[in-house]
Chains A and B, each alone.
Chain A
Amino acid sequence: MKVLIIEDETNLATDIQSYFADSLIVCEIASNIRDASERISLYNYDCILLDLGLPDGSGFEILHELKTLKKTDSVIIISAKNSLDDKLKGLEIGADDYLTKPFHMAELAMRMMAVTRRKLFDGKNVVEAGGIELNLVHNTVKYQEEFVELTPREFRLLRFFLSSQSKVLSKTAIADHLLGDQVDFVDSDKLVYAHIKNLKKKLQQVNCPDYVKTIYGIGYKFSLE
């Protein structure tokens, strides 16, 4: 999968690049509008990560350009502003998602998977890993043809894990993903622990191997090994 990161904070851009270096995601970096528009006119990307505040203009210009070029690249806006106006404007012009800085890499990975799943999974809305099948349209989970009843939060948790396989996910990243803005809460660790315990139990009941490993001190990792 080819990703273009349009971000003037090169430090952040290269970190995103390195984070995905061991996966099938190949990242290119553009740090200004000129550079970015040159690239989008030459190549097709599966996903574009777009910062709005760029040194030579607003990221919205890129969105307009994509529209005039009739490109179908998925766009995720990554902005420092958590502004509803910007969000609505971005989504209206053609962005697929909006992520406010700072964000967890796992969250970014999940959003990227979500916006590109049509391309990644050949139009199928099913994610598969180690015999677990996640139907993203019907929100159902099967392990070797057997349905697993999950609560909405457990489903989101599993989807989160599947989008960042073999990556260590911190407790805070998981809490942020599950609780969103309600994470302003002291007991989030316990909440994460409780949800993971329940998810593991339910997967165990259908004889699914324990793919979710605890990484002591920091978090969890979904790994097929």
Chain B
Amino acid sequence: MKLLDKSFKPFAFMTIILVLISIPLFYFVVVYIYTVDADQSLKNNKLRIEDQLNHLYPQSKTAVLRIRLLNELDIGYKIISMDTFPAERGDRFYTAERFDQYSNSIRPYRYLETVIDIFDNEYLLKAEVDMEEYFDVIPYTTAVAGLFFFFILVGYYFINRFIAGRVWQPFYKTLDRLSRLQIHKGDALVPVDTDIEEFQQMNENLLFFTNRSQSAYNQQKEFTENASHELQTPLAVLQAKSDLLMQSDLSEAQYALLDQINLTIGRMNRLNKNLLLLTKIENKQFIPNERINLSDTIKETIDLYMVSFKERNLEVVDQVTPNITIQGNRALIETLINSLLTNSISHNIDGGSVIILLNEKNLIIKNTGISNDLGEDKIFKRFNKGAKNTDGSGLGLAICEEICNMHQMKITYRYFDQLHSFRISNIVKIS
């Protein structure tokens, strides 16, 4: 989740909860207010009617006629003699619905039933107030309130996006620079200029850590290079002693031991060379500016290993499109092809097969082999060794990957149909 969304989410949540609570609350409050209002006006009307009927006419007879008229007019007041409709004294308010013939609909009304005295006779007054108009107001008011809540939400969202976005801008800029920082290429972090104290502090810390990892990276590179070089001389001494010892009259068993020593020196030497090679590729000490006829290079390498193919009874299928020329570093491209081909031989089974395909875009080298899927994600890792690979340095494929990266090519591994398949894609043919 994005930072700004994170701060927006609880606000949006709160607003929606408020809306949900406020709608019924609003409704009840409005209904209550209207009802109190209606009751008050009914009460006033009662007082007025009682007063008017008692004092407007001098005789009770006229008042009775007026009462009849009022009942016949049917304008919301019914005054009924207590003789026909006995009732207790006191005000009774209630809400009820009834059919209204003028509007031709069922409408809500507020009623007041109370007893009034007219010329010392008790009458029951039934007064009503039409609540329809009041109730009509409620949905509109609710809609307006809801709309405002929605505006608040939208408004906050945009304020959040733009104002807050501006406040956080140095943070996002720093983040962007940080994610594009390539320590191994020697990039240094350029801190974003900001007047916000927290960001300044963050910049300082980031600078400290990136610089430290930069120097750690450089030290590691230097260390690898120096260590490899320093190892060469003792290896040379070891080799010289072994060669010297070899000239003395030794038993067969002693020679066999010496042979093992020789092989081990050889392995150490290769490991060392490969480490150096990796470091050099990473240090960009090779310039990919030569024209290389990839087709010829592959053909020559296949020829070079013909003896080995025959030795292991390997069937070689090569479909190499001629004259694919690329731009690159010859020594590295040769190392790449060599490495992949020797892999396909040494990890093969006797009587197996090697398939080499080259077209304008891809180079695919497939071979049968002993082990199963070697895992496409870890096979190019340094010192990752295949199941039966005991003599290799564990760097061959790591070097292949680095060489491909350097030439803007992509190397992938797949195990399919019992074939280990290496594909180099993105080959750019030049004319």
Interface residues of chain A, those whose CB is within 8 Å of chain B, are 9, 11-12, 15-16, 18-19, 78, 80-82, 100-106, 167-168, 170-173, 176, 181-187, 190-191, 194-195, 215-219
Contact = CB atoms under 8 A, between A and B. Distances in A.
Contacts, number: 127
A94 B308 CA distance: 39
Nearest to B280: A83
Contacts of B391: 186
Contacts of A81: 229, 232
B307 interface: yes
Nearest to A215: B255
Contacts of B265: 102, 172
A135 B229 CA distance: 37
B235 A102 contact: yes
Contact of B243 (A78, A170, A183, A217): A170
A190 B229 contact: no
A9 B233 contact: yes
B342 interface: yes
14 contacts: A18-B244, A19-B244, A78-B236, A101-B233, A101-B236, A105-B240, A171-B259, A172-B262, A183-B266, A184-B396, A187-B311, A187-B345, A190-B308, A217-B258
Interface string B243-277: 11011000011111011001101100110011010
B346 interface: yes
B237 A15 contact: yes
Given A80-B229, A167-B247, A194-B307, A102 B269 contact: yes
A172 B259 CA distance: 8
A216 B254 CA distance: 10
B232 A101 contact: yes
Interface string B323-337: 000000000000100
Contacts of B253: 217
Given A170-B246, A218-B246, 16 more contacts: A9-B236, A9-B237, A12-B240, A15-B244, A18-B244, A101-B232, A101-B236, A102-B235, A102-B236, A102-B240, A105-B240, A184-B342, A216-B256, A217-B256, A217-B258, A218-B259
Interface of B: 229-230, 232-233, 235-244, 246-247, 252-256, 258-259, 262-263, 265-266, 269-270, 273-274, 276, 304, 307-308, 311-312, 335, 338-339, 342, 345-346, 391-393, 396
A217 B253 CA distance: 7
Contacts of A172: 259, 262-263, 265-266
A101 B263 contact: no
Nearest to A11: B237
Given A18-B244, A82-B273, A82-B276, A104 B308 contact: no
Contacts of A82: 273, 276
A195 B252 CA distance: 23
Contact of B255 (A12, A182, A218): A218
**Which secondary structure dominates chain B's binding surface?**
helix
A174 B392 CA distance: 19
Contacts of B276: 82
A16 B312 CA distance: 38
Contacts of A170: 242-243, 246, 258-259, 262
Contacts of B232: 80-81, 100-102
B29 to A, nearest CB: 87
Contacts of A185: 308, 342, 345-346
B75 to A, nearest CB: 112
A103 B312 CA distance: 30
Given A187-B311, A191-B308, A102 B239 contact: yes
B259 A104 contact: no
Q: Which of A104, A105, A218 has the most CB of B within 10 A?
A: A218
Contacts of A15: 237, 240-241, 243-244
B392 to A, nearest CB: 7
Q: Which of B236, B255, B304 has the most CB of A within 10 A?
A: B236
A219 B252 CA distance: 11
A155 to B, nearest CB: 16
A215 B270 CA distance: 25
A72 B192 CA distance: 63
Contacts of B258: 170, 217-218
B346 A186 contact: yes
Contacts of A80: 229-230, 232-233, 236
Nearest to A22: B247
A148 to B, nearest CB: 19
Given A176-B266, A194-B307, A103 B236 contact: yes
A196 B246 CA distance: 19
Contact of A105 (B243, B254, B346): B243
Contacts of A171: 259, 262
B290 to A, nearest CB: 13
A103 B266 CA distance: 10
B247 A187 contact: no
A104 B274 CA distance: 19
B239 A182 contact: no
B127 to A, nearest CB: 110
A104 B262 CA distance: 10
Given A19-B243, A176-B266, A184-B396, A102 B238 contact: yes
A38 to B, nearest CB: 24
B238 A191 contact: no
Contacts of A182: 304, 338, 342
B361 to A, nearest CB: 27
Q: Which of A11, A102, A173, A181 has the most CB of B within 10 A?
A: A102
A185 B305 CA distance: 11
Contacts of B233: 9, 12, 80, 101
A218 B270 contact: no
Contacts of A218: 246, 255-256, 258-259, 262
Contact of A184 (B230, B235, B270): B270
Nearest to B391: A186
